[in-house]
Structure 1
Amino acid sequence: MSISNQMMKGLLDGAILALISQGETYGYEILDKLESQQFPEISDGSIYPVLLRLSKKGYVISISKKSDSGGPKRKYYSITEEGKMELANFKYKWNDLNNGMNNLMWRVNNVE
């Protein structure tokens, strides 16, 4: 099932901030972690614009480091204090939205 781009755009910001809040990480690792959590329809090309947007907003910072595997340098991302506040705001809004949708769907599914 396809999820609309607009829905995914809003969710990806929060999901990526949540992953980065768990510790310094890089783009491909973020993609792997999202896939391991069964986050739907994520491509390499959708991660990097989000990281750039989060960086421009001051929610994350990046630093280039040598790859452990000897490959090219990787850009590692860390969350800022502003990013932590934004993540807390996202969690609050998500809980409200999630509760509302669950209540609505429960009622729709239980109408006889």
Structure 2
Amino acid sequence: MEVIKKQRLAVCHILLDVVEGACEVRDPDLIMRTRHYPALQREMCFADRDWEEARDLSVLACLVLSKELHYKVKMMIGLVAHDLYSRESSVSYQQRLSFDVLMSAIDWPVSFKEITLFAPSK
């Protein structure tokens, strides 16, 4: 599976938005410390500069680019997002809804509840 640079940037941008919503900071280090990030890194081959360059893409461009991603990558995005939202003992309704909207937007409609059953927290 070949991932083009724009797709890597789109995934970075999406995850930066998720970490900002979940943790109120836009810090790629929090993303990189999630349980499922190493698998996503193996598929996407992120470079350090991708996180900075991702800020230049619009949200709409990111969603369009992400629609073409392989289903495995979409699932890994969901798993990393789930890791970020699950950092707290209780996940708010707004966070669950944000997760569901994100996954529908990238054409991988899995709910927060479904992914929790698939990949429960540690």
Same fold (TM over 0.5): no
Q: Which structure: greater strand fraction?
A: 1
Instruction: Name the TM-score class by shorter chain.
Output: 0.3 to 0.5
Q: Which structure: greater helix fraction?
A: 2
Higher relative contact order (CA 8 A, sep 6+): 2
What TM-score do you get using the length of structure 1 for normalisation? 0.40
